[in-house]
Structure 1
Amino acid sequence: MIKAGVKWMFLIVGTMIGAGYASGRELWQFFGQDSSLAILLFALMFIFCCVAIMDISFKKQSGHYLPVLRAIVGKHLTGVYDWMIIIYLFTTTVIMLAGSGATWQAFHFPYKFGVLIIILPLILLFVWDVKGIVLVNSFVLPLLIAGLLFVLILFISDQHLSLFGHVMENSNWMAAFPFTALNILPLIAVLGAIGNQVKRRGEIWVASVGSGVILGVVSYLYNNSLIQIAEDIILYEIPLFAILKHYPYAMMLFMSLMLWIAIFTTAASGTLGLVTRFREYVRQPLWILAMGVIAVMLPFTSFGFSTLIEYLYPLYGILNLYVLASLLLYPILSRFKIR
């Protein structure tokens, strides 16, 4: 049970920690100063939402997200949010491809080279269906989380920063709601695709609590570090590099690899949500569907990484607030059979 729960936990974390999150750009967009309470609220709501989504997915034994979405928002709004999820997964996967371009660009490679180099392994991953993504996440995410925590703790230690200096500054607490809401749709898409593979309810709690704790701790440490370099962030497409400039080139090289892995896992999760949604309409292997979806995405990567995050992420955060409210109220509403 624990082993299976940890497997799903890494799938959840892999869905969350993408180019926007691992680079620091997404955290800075929503949090920044006075956000300790916001990060705590995010972690708690995230755990609650993961439990609710996985529980519905498990009960429905779903192979894609549509039955789960219908249970959350009701049949009348399912069509609207179905299209929202499709557009969200499409645009955020485009952001991941653009993030790969920005990462390689930092090492003086052409932007297009950075975009293209992620595509081949992304398509090959789907040769093994859903198992390929779960297996890759189980291997690379412990390394990614450990690397990110190492850099953040080292930076906090070297700069003699107080871990709890900003705990009482909580005026930005409402940022927790759009930030959590932003990340709800990909969770529904990905966790809706694995309902028929969850064997026991205990797996749900291990995955949900474990992922919420990991993301809460990393978010707090990361945000605390970014506050100290607020003046430098404007100069960097990827805020993480503003932290890494204090360290040897080898450290930047290692963390750039970790960042690229984060980009890859989230691009894989987004593509998984899309191809499982359309598999029943297009009877082809997942890798062929993935190749078709990615081919359509390529022209959109020219907009750039930080521009896409700056405009799209806050918009999705606001639009998804209804889904977040529905999930938080789901245990009560389902008990009284309002839906």
Structure 2
Amino acid sequence: MNQKNKTGFFSFFNFKKETTKKKETNKTSLTQNNEKNFNQTNTSKNIFQIFVNTLKKTKEKFNITIKNLFYKKKIDAKLFKDIEETLIKSDIGIITTQKIIHQLIQQADYQQLKNANELYELLKTIMVNILNQTTTIQYSTQKKPFFILIVGVNGSGKTTTIGKLTKRYKKKGKSVLLAAGDTFRAAAIDQLLFWSKKNNVTLIHNKINSDPASIIFDALSSAKSKNIDIVIADTAGRVQNKIHLMEELKKIIRVSKKINPNFPHEIMLVIDACSGQNVLDQVNTFNKNLGITSLIITKLDGTAKGGVIFSVIDQYKIPVRYIGIGEKSEDLYTFNAQHFVNALFE
């Protein structure tokens, strides 16, 4: 279910600007994954610059220090030790940092690197390879409806993320149906009603404290009968150490399989980057109980702890599908390992 880590060199996003008539907005075409980037403003910011802006606080913790380490330095044990300390302080985590340093020493020796600039580029390559777990959701007519179950702890940004996903898929020409599986909070249903109206999609919901498994079952049945492309189901936020709440999620999955044994196609865990290394416990528990297929990282623009992404992907080999920043419906971007690392070093 989880993707194997891919090694080797990496590919860049290719951008092509198109000149349009006066008063029309500029559009940027994003060729990787053959996706159109509809997240552009009239100034046509490219995705890399968005990553740079998003990681501003994390960069403040990492960038200046790491650059100073390599400036006119020779490659020796002290340099490796200094790099290790900087990575740990940047929330990359001890285990992952040790792995990076081990590879750095091993490959520097194998390649017989002579100066710190070469080591600097090698470090970037190793960090990209750690993050290079991303894959694209594959849609097919046989999978209709494609079922995405959204899970996560309280306050991670699940409901807002669902609104952003809905807009994204609608822009790609997909029909979408939403299911309000968080029946504990009236505000959660109200939020989904807002997003469903904003994106002109149907929301299946019921009264507070209704059985979420039944609501999601009804949503999937409706989507199947209406030939809907995608169903996105919200769930109540839960602390990962509450066993009975995890059992409720397992019930949702069991019930959905009565319609299609392959349901859900995606179990997306939404995690708040502000939580730092604490997200490792969340990923561990949700993955152990449910089998997480992908991650969405939110609030990267509001934290200096963005380095935690390295630990999560390295230890659990679960791909980051998207990163979320801000509250606007456009503020959801396909995760790209190359851009993420380059932005950190920018």
Scaled by the length of structure 1, the TM-score of the pair is 0.25
The structure carrying a bigger strand percent of its residues is 2
Q: Greater RCO between the two (CA within 8 Å, min separation 6)?
A: 1
In our comparison, the structure showing a higher alpha carbon Rg is 2
Scaled by the length of structure 2, the TM-score of the pair is 0.25
The structure carrying a bigger helix percent of its residues is 1
